[in-house]
Amino acid sequence: MANLKIAVLISGRGSNLQALLDACAEPDFPAEIVLVLSNKAGALGLERARKAGVGATFLDHTLYGEDREGFEKELDEKLRAKGVQLIALAGFMRILTPWFVDKWKDRMVNIHPSLLPSFKGVSTHERALEQGVRIHGATVHYVRADMDDGPIIGQAAVPVLPGDDAETLSARVLEAEHKLYPACLKLVAEGKARVTAERVKIDKSAAANEHAVLYNPGG
């Protein structure tokens, strides 16, 4: 079966992008990254893409002012020109309109640094500490028009330890993200994580260890 063609959208550091690039470099991985696109010039992730020999593009949203759809139409064209079949958002700090989200329904995934539906939005680690939760983590989900909403593909849980601050907690979560995202992408690329009635059904044929990675990546 041909590899699923993926575009990764970023705005910055791109450590999750790196995890996906590394996974896609494995011979048996069922997906390939055909485009990395950033809405920020000089994003470190663009450099990571170039190093991996993947096409890297900067698309400046500020050129479109208030015209969000104008930016997204250009984005959509670039994706189609590359034959992209799935979009993976990885630290893409731009809200997408319902027009774009509907166009890519069930073909766009995101990683969020919390156990959704808790702590949508930004500063998730600070808020998790403020609330005194004992378990924190990350979620990979299909994207819907509401922010950080959509059918959940996989989650990774990590403990909140005594003495944690936002930095130590976010580092622990990030390590888990780097295992979770490739694992979820693999399931999606193999057609083993399909949406039915706004829930993701993981195919029974998914290997037991794939489930283990999803539920206990730190283990």
**Contacts to ligand GRF by CB under 6 A:** 12-17, 90-91, 111-113, 138, 174, 177
Q: Please, how many CA atoms are within 13 Å of residue 8, restricted to the half-sphere of its CB?
A: 32
Q: Which is nearer to ligand GRF, 15 or 57 (CB)?
A: 15
Task: Give the nearest distance from C-beta 71 to ligand GRF in angstroms.
Answer: 19
Helices (H), 10-61: 15-24, 44-51
Measured at CB, which residue is nearest to ligand GRF? 91
Shortest distance in whole angstroms from residue 39 CB to ligand GRF: 13
With respect to ligand GRF, which residue has the nearer C-beta, 16 or 39?
16
Q: Which is nearer to ligand GRF, 58 or 191 (CB)?
A: 58
Q: How far is the CB of 188 from ligand GRF (least distance, A)?
A: 17
What six digits make up the tokens of 28? 């048996």
Which active-site residues does the annotation give? 112
170: which 2 tokens? 């976010």
Joined together, the tokens standing for residue 139 give 């979620």
Cα–Cα distance between 62 and 116 in angstroms, integer?
Answer: 30
Residue 22: phi, psi to the nearest 5? -65, -40
